[in-house]
Chains A and B, each alone.
Chain A
């Protein structure tokens, strides 16, 4: 006598998980390759949008300028005077190795021009070689 085939047992058979784990692995590899891990900003800065600008990779220090004037250097909130002291020291250290320091400035899009100009001038006085304003692609975030 032949019994009808036994229904598949769901309890401890895990083969139905394989398609799920395939997708999850794919997502994981996508995020590993496509995303760049960055240190979270100490405060939110909405960068301005621009139409045409070159991108350039390279070593640079990052200065954040919040709408209300708060500043941060490489993810660390600092007072204006402390930030300038940090930069002057960094410029001196880099100068001994014969290199200039590149600075990326990420300022909020609602910051007033006067504030940006004053900060840019102060940053130039520390002796950094180049300052770039970071902007976002015009097709991206509004």
Chain B
């Protein structure tokens, strides 16, 4: 009677279990330490000193009220109408500076939304000032 012996198994050079342990630790480290946020940048420029009131006729004043209303040169804008109105005015004089004047307790998110609209209109100089 002859019994076939099973083929001799190759001995692995390194065992896989410690390897996978290390790789798992590396994986968890990189998952926790890496960030996938896509940051964007918005240029900030604050007017120094007092806000230019009426001395400069050439600036366009955008005011943001605490309740969210937006006024351009004193006239209340419909939501989304700011960009169009600014484009019309900047078409005559593209170099006009725009001064955004938020009321003190306007949250930053609201201010950024307005700055977006101002930049969408193509304003080259955007300054922040107090209301």
Contact = CB atoms under 8 A, between A and B. Distances in A.
Determine chain B's interface SS by DSSP, over half rule: mixed
Size class of B's contact patch?
A: 35 or more
B30 A50 contact: no
* Residue in B6, B103, B116 whose Cβ sees the most chain A Cβ within 10 Å: B116
A109 B16 contact: no
Contacts of A24: 20, 23-24, 27
B111 A116 contact: yes
Size class of A's contact patch?
A: 35 or more
Interface stretch (B44-52, B53-61, B69-77, B86-94): B44-52
Contacts of B36: 34-36
Given A14-B15, A113-B108, A21 B23 contact: yes
11 contacts: A6-B6, A24-B27, A35-B33, A52-B119, A52-B120, A53-B42, A55-B39, A55-B41, A110-B107, A124-B48, A134-B40
